[in-house]
Amino acid sequence: MDFEPSDDQRLLIESVSRMLADNYSFAQRKTYIATPEGWSTAMWSQLAELGLLGLPFPEQYGGYGGGPQETMLVMQAFGRVLVVEPYFPTVILGGAAIMAAGTDAQKQAILPAIAEGSLKMAFAHSERQARYDLNDVVTTAKKDGDAWILDGSKTVVAHGDSADKLIVSARTSGERYDTDGITLFLVDTNAEGVARRGYITRDESRAADISLSNVRVTEVLGTPGKGLAIVEKIVEAGIAATAAETVGAMEAMNEMTLEYSKTRVQFGNPIGTYQVVQHRMADMFMTAEQGRSMAMLATMSLENDDPAERAHDMAMAKVGVGQAGRYVSQSAVQMHGGIGMTEEYAVGHYFRRCMVIERLFGDPAYYLQRLADEVA
């Protein structure tokens, strides 16, 4: 199988890399985080101008017409500089939800707005008691004429504080752990009864806890009661995208560590001349390449129509990329010594982002258990 990028993909990589090189140094990223939004609105406009906000959407909906491979390349580039804009919740998660379950009218209304940068979305599914179980939903939705009344709360909603529209999961029938009875709703964040508490997460991105009290909504995404399958598709898109982001972060950490080994002098020589350091850096490189292979597996699996095979591949990717990200990031911090732990130096920030991604949608131990259950 040929894994080399096509000519169009090379142009995409070059344009994204050039834009980030000009606008996303570590110092510039700090200024973006310090804004009230926690990210750069100017950068968001640039992403729209480059067509990146519409990258995975069909041209008929104002998109670029790209596929999972193009998304992977962009997320790798974002991982190299730790992009903090709400691309992931809006384009990856929100876009996946609308593409998977939206009606044509919903696609026509939402996808062009995302592509032009005027609409930001967030995926409000996680609840405090649920941990990693996607079917553990206690937020309720009760029918009231032509509308539904939502009550409950969601936690750690990525960029939920800046979103214009939420994709909210709620239970319309059944008990807490039932796989049937989950429905997805499109909720405007300015709707009466919606309250948001935004905060900065450990990796310096933004999130929010959201409470829903007697929120009246009319827009359902997909078939009522059959939302779990949509949630699984959204999560799979998220796993593939963050796996690619981790690959980009590992590339950056390996490059930073190599450069540091050439300039840091100990016992009269650059530390890169010592064999033990060379061995560790070779291990870091090989581990990153193994993680890259698993990220590719996740990307290719998005086009697999078999849900069971797709779930298996995503579990493999979560384990492989999660373990690779942990090893490379911990090694990079260790190789840098004390400076690697400081806020002023970038490598620690990459470490924190990789650790957050490792636990997003489930940590390696959770997915190892799922893989073990397949053969039990």
Domain closes at, from 118, 142, 162? 118
Question: Residue 335 sits in which domain range?
Answer: 229-375
What is residue 229's predicted lDDT score, i.e. its pLDDT?
96
Residue 22 lies in a domain: yes
Q: Which two tokens stand for residue 264?
A: 């840091």
pLDDT tens, position by position, 253-268 = 999 999 999 999 888 8
pLDDT of residue 283: 97
Note whether 146 and 238 are same-domain residues: no
In a domain, 215, yes or no: yes
Task: Report the CATH number at residue 255.
Answer: 1.20.140.10
**Distances 166 to 53, 125, 163, 199, 219 between C-alpha atoms, Å:** 17, 10, 7, 17, 11
Q: Please indicate, yes or no, whether residues 183 and 287 belong to a single structural domain of this protein.
A: no
Sequence-separated (6 or more) residues with CB below 8 Å from residue 229:
307
1 found inside a domain: no
Assigned token pair, 348: 């620690």
Average pLDDT for 63-85: 96
In angstroms, the CA 240 to CA 67 distance is 12
Give the model's confidence band at 375: pLDDT under 50 very low, under 70 low, under 90 confident, else very high.
confident
At 221, which CATH number? 2.40.110.10
Say yes or no: 130 and 213 in one domain: yes
* Residue 314 is assigned to a structural domain of this protein: yes
Domain harbouring 45, CATH code: 1.10.540.10
328 and 244 within one domain? yes
**Cβ(252)–Cβ(79) below 8 Å:** yes
The verdict on residue 167 lying in a domain is yes
Name every residue whose Cβ is closer than 8 Å to that of residue 90 and which is 6 or more positions away in sequence: 53, 114, 119, 120, 121, 122, 159, 163
Asked which of 99, 118, 137 is the last residue of a domain, the reply is 118
Q: Which of 192, 209, 225 is the last residue of a domain?
A: 225
Q: 242 near 75, Cβ under 8 Å?
A: yes
Q: How far is CA 147 from CA 123, 142, 144, 216, in A?
A: 21, 8, 5, 6
pLDDT band at 336 (very low <50, low <70, confident <90, very high): very high
The reply to whether 258 and 371 lie within a common domain is yes
Mean pLDDT computed over 205-215: 98
Q: How many domains does the chain have?
A: 3
pLDDT band at 301 (very low <50, low <70, confident <90, very high): very high
- Alpha-carbon distance of 162 to 149, in angstroms, equals 23
In a domain, 174, yes or no: yes
The 10s digit of each residue's pLDDT in 119-156 is: 999 999 999 999 999 999 999 999 999 999 999 999 99
248/280 Cα distance (integer angstroms): 19
Confidence of residue 2 (pLDDT cuts 50, 70, 90): low
**172 in the same domain as 134:** yes
Comparing 375 with 119, the larger pLDDT belongs to 119
For the stretch 98-115, pLDDT in tens is 999 999 999 999 999 999
Indicate whether 234 and 369 sit together in one domain. Answer: yes
CA angle 111, 231, 68 (to 5 degrees): 55
pLDDT at 284: 97
Same domain, 251 and 347: yes
- Does the residue 290 lie in any domain? yes
96 and 163 belong to one structural domain: no
Cα–Cα dist 117/62, whole Å: 11
- The predicted structure's pLDDT at residue 147: 96
Q: How confident is the model at residue 165 (pLDDT cuts 50, 70, 90)?
A: very high
Confidence of residue 298 (pLDDT cuts 50, 70, 90): very high
Q: Are residues 142 and 104 in the same domain?
A: no
**Percent over 70 (pLDDT), the chain:** 99
The arithmetic mean of pLDDT across residues 216-229, rounded, is: 96
The pLDDT of residue 1 is above 60: no
Same structural domain, 81 and 164: no
| Mean pLDDT value across residues 316-322 | 97
**Same domain membership, residue 250 and residue 179:** no
Share of the chain above pLDDT 90, in %: 93
Query: Tokens standing for 123?
Result: 């995926």
Indicate whether 2 belongs to any domain: no
Mean pLDDT computed over every residue of the chain:
95
Q: Which residue has the tokens 């000009």?
A: 22
